[in-house]
């Protein structure tokens, strides 16, 4: 339990505890217990609300709405894990999301046409906007990271100042008004029927994912054999492979059972001359919305950075013991600064999703995100003591939190009620975790 | 190790379960126990007229319940009308978040909403939510706040009339002198366009141009566009923001040696902040303050002499109108020529144009179908109307009122 950073198989020489008990068998598959428990909690929450709502909750359209809602928070939470693991905090993420969302807004509604002289239908305008948003995020992240790492002002203070300052800048950026009317292609980042990859590509993603799982399992087994590490029993490999592929294909099938709303399909059909609607109306599968594809990509990339790159290992080393990391020759200041740059980039991606969903930006975007993001990371098992936390855990934490919020709102509990429940779950989840750690080590 | 995980899971579920059972009783909306398909079985007999719609699910997306009026008057008005017509009422509160409101609308469409009533948090970025409803072939009612979309039905009070009634009352009390203008949220056309237009209809601009009235919180240097650059906006109409702004204005007026003779505040939550700032600084003599909404706290201020006029939009009637319109839309009524049931709405506040929808030209250049109701100005003299209308109890209205200076309604 010294380092939970790695969700890949442990590479120690210790034999996993064998035995015929359920516990022993699960241990032999080397599945991360925390993630496994959270997956079950997530399923239980959704099923619970499904029953309470009279069987109306678990439908493709609802689940995709829930996933798109959680995507922004989950994306930022992957970065917050690294920040908290290295014993810092970032309270400015909500304001930064607001600032970058408004940046996208004013860029596409005002600056591009009026200052840069770019016509609204210029191709790749969305790429330019996204690049500038990411630039703003990285620059502000670098500035905050510099003050924290090189000047030594506590991160709580620096980012608290950031929270206030950046939120104020949002107001000046647009003169206090909301803006709307973004680039048509940019809007696809926000999801919705047209902002989804479609049925065929969704199956393609599922196929690639399944092949990757099987390839990783086979490769890892071969590598372990080669270096004489213990391998999983063959039944465990098969269970993991089948379960993984079944999950991916199942989710793809579920997403492909979400269809374009009739009104939209009829409108687009009329615009593009598809001819008369078939019997029973159009049935166009949406598949995965783009925010979900983005979230999957970010999760994979951040997991790779955290577990396979030097930078990621340094972050965990510093979090585990700052002095030891410093003495081992790690450039800890540069490492800390980079965690904040990464945070800024992730905020830019989340801001793109939000502003694209709203087709614009209002002054309140990103309000209280910092609290939601920190909650997601902490529910996902990130420890404020430093050195402990996983990227997939934080993503699952975001989904657990949002499925509670969504489920409660679905059965008619208003926002204050949702906050009460999420608040209690946050404390209870961390409380149980603390007790476990005390017993487990 | 696994047993601990199960412990975590069980604990989580226990919390969820307990929260749901308590949350279910706390919420006023009975949506969780009455799915749309079961509603007709237990429904009250449908009222006479064509509005009966057995399978009608009316969804309301509120932007917030922090202003007392929505939960106290608008919601019961809508809910009771919908349920009396055999429909099902569902609702969600976005808690001042534009993102949450978009999610709420999508969620309620997923719950099978047949008509979507939206009180928009932001009238600009509500677009995608309205589009989602239109994509699902669900008609949208813009409740109280305009949405710039040609396909919505706009139900509101005559907001220009509200502004006119506010300014008429204050101008009658203070024909010349120094005015302070406290406006609402800059993203709300009521705040930036309709209410100031009503003030002008009552003669404010003419008096400013004639030099009879000076706006103390005008643009720096005096050069600016009327009415946009005059007055102070209040983000999210928040009382504490209005209070902080007003305190700064008072301090500046004192520093400049100016006397504040009157305050035109656009609504009650801003008027509450203004009154708090004036009393907090013991401003003397106390200037007349305007407001609108008829919130009990403000009516109490009117009785105490801390607010001069409160233009009351009888929200019970607005709610009833929206509920009736939603049922009519469910029954397949055409939005452009929608007609409401006779006798449902108080004739004193019913639309001046009658019970059939009329076209309304929006500032954004759209023409939308609309029902525009008539407001009532309340001053110390006619507060009894608010008690009669169920807006406030006599105890609330007269709490802390000095018997010697009490208005007729408190004697």
Does residue A110 contact residue A179 with C-beta atoms inside 8 Å?
yes
What number of helices (H) and strands (E) belong to chain A? 17, 2
**B291 - beta bridge partners?**
B310
pLDDT exceeds 80 at position B395: yes
Q: Report, as an integer, the average pLDDT of B196-207.
A: 94
How confident is the model at residue B344, as a pLDDT?
82
**In 10 A of CB A393, how many CB atoms?**
27
A264 touches chain B (CB under 8 A): yes
Helical axes A125-146 vs A332-358, angle rounded to 10°: 140
Please give, rounded to a whole number of angstroms, the shortest distance from the CA of B394 to a CA of chain A.
30
Residue A439 token pair: 């017993």
Q: Report, as an integer, the average pLDDT of A376-385.
A: 92
This complex has an ipTM of: 0.78
Nearest to A186 by CA among A88, A258, A291, A337: A291
Please give, rounded to a whole number of angstroms, the shortest distance from the CA of A440 to a CA of chain B.
8
Please give, rounded to a whole number of angstroms, the shortest distance from the CA of A404 to a CA of chain B.
8
Does residue A291 contact residue A190 with C-beta atoms inside 8 Å?
yes
pLDDT exceeds 60 at position B7: no
Inter-chain touch B187–A354, beta carbons under 8 Å: no
Q: How far apart are CA A393 and CA A377, in angstroms?
A: 7
User: A-chain residues within 8 Å CB-CB of B26?
Assistant: 413, 417
Inter-chain touch A33–B1, beta carbons under 8 Å: yes
Which phi and psi angles does B179 have, rounded to 5°? -110, 150
The pLDDT tens digits of the residues spanning A219-274 come to 999 999 999 888 888 898 999 999 999 999 999 999 999 999 888 888 888 888 88
DSSP assigned state of A150: I
Regarding pTM above 0.80, the answer is no
Chain A, residues 359-398, CB within 8 A of chain B, namely 359-365, 367
Residue A186 token pair: 């940019």
The pLDDT tens digits of the residues spanning B365-393 come to 899 999 999 888 999 998 998 998 788 89
Q: How far apart are CA B131 and CA B380, in angstroms?
A: 45
Helical axes A391-410 vs B2-26, angle rounded to 10°: 30
Distances (CA, A) of B331 to A162, B337, B351: 53, 13, 22
CA A116-A119-A124 angle, 5° bins:
85
How confident is the model at residue B41, as a pLDDT?
37
The secondary structure element, H or E, covering residue B140 is strand B140-143
Inter-chain touch A363–B235, beta carbons under 8 Å: yes
CATH of domain B159-312+378-410: 3.40.50.2300
DSSP B327-353: HHHHTT--GGG-BPPTTSS-TTTS-TT
Mutate to test the interface with B, among A61, A257, A261, A271 (most CBs of B within 10 A): A261
How confident is the model at residue B25, as a pLDDT?
37
The pLDDT confidence band at residue B35, using thresholds 50, 70 and 90, is: very low
List the single range of A373-387, B28-42, B332-346 with lowest mean pLDDT.
Answer: B28-42
Query: Percent of chain A at pLDDT above 90?
Result: 63
A36 touches chain B (CB under 8 A): yes
DSSP assigned state of A211: H
The pLDDT tens digits of the residues spanning B123-151 come to 888 999 999 999 999 999 999 999 999 99
Inter-chain touch A413–B17, beta carbons under 8 Å: no
The pLDDT confidence band at residue A294, using thresholds 50, 70 and 90, is: very high
* B49-157+315-374 and B159-312+378-410 in the same fold: yes
How confident is the model at residue A19, as a pLDDT?
52
Residue B359 token pair: 């076209």
A261, A407, A409 member nearest B92 (Cβ):
A409
Instruction: Please confirm whether the linkage preceding B232 is cis (ω < 30° from 0).
Output: no
Residue A293 token pair: 């594809």
Query: Percent of chain B at pLDDT above 70?
Result: 86
Q: How far apart are CA A375 and CA A387, in angstroms?
A: 17
CATH of domain B49-157+315-374: 3.40.50.2300
- β-strands B57-62, B115-118: how paired? parallel
Q: Tokens 């993420």: give the residue.
A: A93
Q: Domain limits of chain B?
A: 49-157+315-374, 159-312+378-410
Q: Tokens 């608010």: give the residue.
A: B386
Chain A, residues 331-360, CB within 8 A of chain B, namely 354, 357-360
């Amino acid at each position: 339990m010294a380092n939970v950073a790695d969700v890949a198989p442990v590479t120690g020489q210790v034999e996993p505890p064998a035995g015929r008990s359920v516990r022993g068998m699960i241990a032999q598959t080397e599945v991360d217990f925390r993630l496994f428990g959270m997956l079950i909690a997530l399923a239980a929450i959704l099923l619970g609300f499904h029953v309470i709502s009279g069987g109306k909750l678990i439908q493709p359209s609802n689940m995709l709405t829930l996933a798109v809602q959680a995507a922004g928070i989950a994306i930022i939470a992957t970065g917050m894990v690294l920040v908290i693991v290295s014993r810092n905090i970032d309270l400015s993420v909500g304001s930064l999301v607001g600032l970058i969302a408004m940046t996208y807004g004013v860029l596409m509604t005002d600056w591009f046409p009026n200052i840069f002289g770019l016509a609204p239908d210029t191709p790749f305008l969305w790429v330019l906007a996204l690049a500038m948003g990411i630039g703003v995020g990285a620059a502000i992240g670098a500035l905050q990271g510099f003050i924290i790492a090189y000047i030594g002002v506590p991160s709580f203070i620096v980012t608290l100042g950031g929270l206030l300052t950046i939120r104020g800048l949002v107001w000046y950026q647009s003169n206090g008004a909301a803006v709307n009317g973004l680039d048509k292609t940019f809007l696809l980042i926000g999801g919705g029927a047209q902002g989804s990859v479609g049925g065929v590509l969704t199956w393609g993603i599922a196929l690639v994912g399944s092949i990757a799982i099987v390839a990783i399992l086979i490769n890892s087994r071969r590598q372990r054999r080669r270096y004489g590490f213990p391998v999983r029993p063959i039944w465990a490999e098969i269970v993991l492979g089948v379960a993984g592929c079944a999950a991916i294909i199942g989710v793809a099938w579920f997403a492909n059972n979400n269809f374009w709303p009739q009104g939209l399909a009829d409108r687009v059909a009329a615009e593009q001359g598809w001819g008369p609607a078939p019997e029973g109306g159009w049935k166009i599968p949406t598949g995965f919305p783009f925010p979900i594809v983005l979230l999957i990509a970010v999760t994979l990339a951040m997991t790779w950075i955290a577990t396979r790159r030097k930078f990621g290992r340094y972050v965990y080393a510093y979090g585990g013991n700052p002095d030891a990391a410093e003495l081992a020759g790690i450039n800890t200041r540069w490492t800390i600064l980079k965690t904040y740059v990464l945070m800024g980039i992730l905020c830019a991606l989340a801001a793109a999703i939000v502003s694209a969903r709203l087709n614009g930006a209002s002054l309140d975007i990103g309000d209280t995100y910092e609290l939601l993001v920190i909650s997601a990371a902490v529910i996902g098992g990130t420890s404020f003591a430093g050195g402990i936390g996983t990227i997939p855990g934080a993503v699952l934490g975001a989904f657990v939190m949002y499925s509670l919020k969504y489920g409660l709102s679905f059965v008619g509990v208003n926002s204050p009620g949702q906050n009460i429940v999420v608040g209690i779950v946050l404390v209870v989840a961390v409380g149980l975790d603390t007790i476990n750690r005390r017993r487990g080590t | 190790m696994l047993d601990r995980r199960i412990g975590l899971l069980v604990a989580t579920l226990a919390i969820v379960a307990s929260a749901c059972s308590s949350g279910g009783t706390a919420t006023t909306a009975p949506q969780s126990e009455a799915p749309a398909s079961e509603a007709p079985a237990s429904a009250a007999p449908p009222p006479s007229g064509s509005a009966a719609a057995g399978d009608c699910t009316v969804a309301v997306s509120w932007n917030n319940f922090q202003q007392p009026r929505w939960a106290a008057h608008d919601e019961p008005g809508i809910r009771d009308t919908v349920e009396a017509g055999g429909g099902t009422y569902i609702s969600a509160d976005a808690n001042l978040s534009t993102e949450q409101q978009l999610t709420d609308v999508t969620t309620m469409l997923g719950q099978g909403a047949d008509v979507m009533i939206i009180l928009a948090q932001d009238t600009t970025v509500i677009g995608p939510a309205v589009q989602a409803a239109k994509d699902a072939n669900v008609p949208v009612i813009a409740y109280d706040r305009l949405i710039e979309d040609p396909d919505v039905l706009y139900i509101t009070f005559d907001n220009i009339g509200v502004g006119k009634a506010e300014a008429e009352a204050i101008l009658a009390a203070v024909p010349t002198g120094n005015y302070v203008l406290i406006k609402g949220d800059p993203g709300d056309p009521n705040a930036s366009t309709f209410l100031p237009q009503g003030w002008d209809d009552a003669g404010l601009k003419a008096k400013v141009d004639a030099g009879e009235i000076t706006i103390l919180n005008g643009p720096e240097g005096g050069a600016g566009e009327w009415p946009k650059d005059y007055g102070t906006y209040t983000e999210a109409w928040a009382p504490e923001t209005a209070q902080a702004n007003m305190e700064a204005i008072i301090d500046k007026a004192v520093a400049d040696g100016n006397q504040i003779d009157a305050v035109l505040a656009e609504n009650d939550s801003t008027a509450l902040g203004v009154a708090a700032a004036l009393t907090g600084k013991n401003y003397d003599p106390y200037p007349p303050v305007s407001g609108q909404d008829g919130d009990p706290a403000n009516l109490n201020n009117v009785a105490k002499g801390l607010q001069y006029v409160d233009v009351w939009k009888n929200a019970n009637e607005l709610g009833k109108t929206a509920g009736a319109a939603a049922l009519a839309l469910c029954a397949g009524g055409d939005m452009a020529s929608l007609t409401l049931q006779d006798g449902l709405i108080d004739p004193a506040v019913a639309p001046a144009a009658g019970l059939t929808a009329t076209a309304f030209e929006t500032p954004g250049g759209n023409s939308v179908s609309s029902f525009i109701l008539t407001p009532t100005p309340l001053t110390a003299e006619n507060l009894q109307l608010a008690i009669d209308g169920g807006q406030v109890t006599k105890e609330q209205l007269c709490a802390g009122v000095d018997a010697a200076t009490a208005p007729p309604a408190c004697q």
